[in-house]
Amino acid sequence: MRPATLASILVAALVAVASGCAPAIGDSCTSALDCSINGDRQCDSTRPGGACTVFGCEADTCPDDAVCVRFRPDPSRLTFTACMRRCEGDGNCRVDDGFACFAAEDLTDPQLGTLAEVIDEERGQRRFCVATRAPVPPNTDAGL
């Protein structure tokens, strides 16, 4: 086999492996580098185990495995949007880290009202993975 051909095969194999292992929306993370080497995804460290996302999404701009969700949709200075992992059931979410599959209309608060809404217009799936418990704080030694 010619050296140029071997090099081409190796490069193609590395690209295939790297793209197959690319983190998805909702995958665990500790920094943005865990989510994307291109800087197009962030790590939401407020979620248990972190969660790869894209903040500031607009309708139909999230990757195929995600939906764009507006949190605190009532006019508020706290309103924000983020790509969230699409799901059909809890099995599509990181259950061991405290995530479960919900529809936006399931996320309400008696005092605050609606907490989230899916703003994608063209995607039929309107359920997404949500953290159901607070993140676990880092292990600290209180005896120090």
pLDDT of residue 43 exceeding 70, the answer is: yes
User: Is 90 part of any domain?
Assistant: yes
Domain that holds residue 73: 55-131
The reported pLDDT for the residue numbered 113 is 82
In the chain, the number of structural domains is 1
Would residue 29 count as lying in a domain? Answer: no
Does 123 reside within a domain? yes
Q: Is residue 46 domain-resident? A: no
Coil, helix or strand for 3? helix
Supply the mean pLDDT for the chain: 82
Q: What is the pTM of this model?
A: 0.76
CB atoms within 10 A of CB 113: 10
Local confidence band at 109 (pLDDT 50, 70, 90 cut-offs): confident
Separation between Cα atoms, residue 9 and residue 30, nearest integer Å: 33
Write out the two tokens for 62.
Answer: 């999230």
Residue 141 belongs to some domain of the structure: no
Q: Are 114 and 97 in contact (CB under 8 A)?
A: no
Judged on CB neighbours under 10 Å (0-12, 13-18, 19+), 24 is middle
Q: Judge whether 130 and 102 are in contact, CB under 8 Å.
A: yes
User: Is there a domain that residue 86 lies in?
Assistant: yes
Query: Which are the contacts of 24, defined by CB distance < 8 A and separation ≥ 6?
Result: 52, 63, 65, 66, 85
Residue 110 binned pLDDT confidence (cut-offs 50, 70, 90): confident
Q: Which of 33-37, 46-50, 72-76 has the lowest mean pLDDT?
A: 72-76
Residue 139 located in a structural domain:
no
**Is 2 contained in some domain?**
no
Considering only residues 95 and 108, tell me which one the structure prediction assigns the higher pLDDT: 95
